[in-house]
Amino acid sequence: MSEMHCPKCRLLIEDTDNFCRYCGRRLKAGSGFIYSHAGIILLMLIAGPFALPWVWMSKRISRASKIIYSILMLLMGYYLVVSCIRIYQLTFDMMQSMTTIGF
């Protein structure tokens, strides 16, 4: 086991520690709740495809899961864009029909 020091408090820590025992600083990026399956799903529901960076920064989920999440997020993003275009077209068509009727 190699000798490591916390980057914040400079006290001796073990290389298997996720957090410093003395100051509490997170030592390994990509290992918090937001990088777990539940965190990724929550981010997906809130931010949609903008959550992709957190998927790929995660050290807690497998590569296969990252690929599946990426495909799901891209499909979700595509569906949202298509839905917005359809809503715009329907609104535009409704406004055109209202002007021809005389509203």
pLDDT exceeds cutoff 80 at 32: no
Is the pLDDT higher at 96 or at 101? 96
Closest CA to 58 of 46, 48, 69: 69
Separation of alpha carbons 14 and 68, rounded Å: 34
pLDDT, tens digit (0-9, with 9 covering 90-100), for 42-96: 998 898 888 899 888 888 889 999 999 999 999 988 999 999 999 999 999 999 9
The full set of domain ranges for the chain reads 1-28, 31-101
What is the reported pTM?
0.59
Separation of alpha carbons 43 and 52, rounded Å: 9
Q: What is the DSSP letter of 13?
A: E
Q: CA quadruple 92, 96, 99, 103: dihedral positive or negative?
A: negative
What value, to the nearest 5°, has the Cα angle with vertex 59 and ends 56 and 65?
60
Separation of alpha carbons 69 and 51, rounded Å: 10
